[in-house]
Amino acid sequence: MAAKLPIVRTTGELRSTVQRWRGRGLTVALVPTMGSLHDGHVSLVQLARKRAKRTVVSIFVNPTQFGPNEDFSAYPRDEQGDWLKLAGARTDLVYMPAVSEIYPDDFSTRVEVIGLTSGLEGASRPRHFAGVTTVVTKLFLQCLPDIAIFGEKDYQQLLVIRQLVKDLDMPIEVLGGPTMREPDGLAMSSRNAYLDPAARALAPRFHAVLDEVSRDLSQGRPVHEATYLGRDWLEGAGIKVDYLEVRDAANLTPVTEHVTAPSRVLGAVYLGHIRLIDNVAVEPIPGR
Ligand code: PAF
């Protein structure tokens, strides 16, 4: 099955395939990933297939978005499993560049979005977004897709990439795909594979608390109270909170009192040494 899946490893091969498609008038969607694929990624490929005639999935574990004490070398990798999933999802092309294809020895450029990247993940992982926007810019320029698709689980990343594309006039439509969840509510993530059985049993509490905070906010509870309670519920269950915040859904401006416009509750927690992120929508209080 995997043998039928076209895999290229160089920019030249990627470009010539995409150019051939373009010559035939076909539109192209890119789904950038770091591999270790799960059903959340498959749903992004399905969205890509609905929105464009050809779908490229890139698999590249990007070293520059990991901090010095983060899990780059331990990040889960599963090439064969990824190929099977992508073949099953009828991906047209997989791009798997080596590190030297993306970052040759004399690589000296950094692409950085400011403002949107300063809080939430940016506060906890200071170099993370510069690594993301640099690699995404490279992938966009290498592939030149019409559409690019990212998961809403990384909500801040999605808005940062939209800003990047807008600021640099990239002719690419950025689409967000909804977060896929396990039956118990845990957001699908490659990092879930690291959770030991006790942490896995506790993990769904994270999403349940985000939902409770969202419900409280929509019923008029002020932000400081709702987030205080949320933290308390999580810490009480033995989940260490990195952040739990309410932000405007369109531009991530902090919401400080009541929710009067579409917003998100965003959180990052530690289960043991595994860090998970998630977010849920909050509908504004009717009549406010
Ligand atoms: O979301 C991810 O998997 C990564 O941050 C991305 C967008 C593929 C860039 O490396």
Nearest atom in ligand 1 to the alpha carbon of residue 132 is 9
User: Quick one: pLDDT at residue 1?
Assistant: 45
pLDDT value for 4: 82
* Predicted local distance difference test score (pLDDT) of residue 71: 81
CA of 65, closest atom in ligand 1: 10
Q: What is the pTM of this model?
A: 0.96
Whether 41 sits among the annotated catalytic residues: the reply is yes
pLDDT of residue 288: 64
Structure tokens at 3: 């043998």
Contact status, residue 285 vs residue 218, Cβ threshold 8 Å: yes
Among candidate residues 185, 120, 155, 146, the one with its CA nearest the CA of residue 29: 146
Q: Which two tokens stand for residue 187?
A: 């957001």
pLDDT digits (tens, 9 = 90+) for 191-224: 999 999 999 999 999 999 999 999 999 999 999 9
Q: Return the sign of the alpha-carbon dihedral for residues 216, 218, 220, 226.
A: positive
Question: 231 CB contacts (<8 Å, ≥6 apart)?
Answer: 241, 244
pLDDT in tens, 41-65: 999 999 999 999 999 999 999 999 9
To the nearest 5 percent, what fractions of the chain are helix, strand and coil?
40, 20, 40
Maximum Cα–Cα distance across the chain = 59
Q: How far apart are CA 29 and CA 164, in angstroms?
A: 17
Average pLDDT, the chain: 96
Q: Whose CA is nearest to atom 6 of ligand 1?
A: 33
Residue nearest to atom 8 of ligand 1 (CA): 33
Q: Which of 38, 41, 128, 207 is catalytic?
A: 41
> What is the percent of the chain where pLDDT is above 90?
95
Q: What is the pLDDT of residue 284?
A: 87
Say if ligand 1 is within 6 A of residue 62 CB: yes
pLDDT (0 to 100) of residue 2: 44
pLDDT, tens digit, for every residue of 4-25? Answer: 899 999 999 999 999 999 999 9
Of 29-38, 67-76, 138-147, 230-239, minimum mean pLDDT range? 67-76
Pocket flag, ligand 1, residue 97 (CB < 6 Å): no
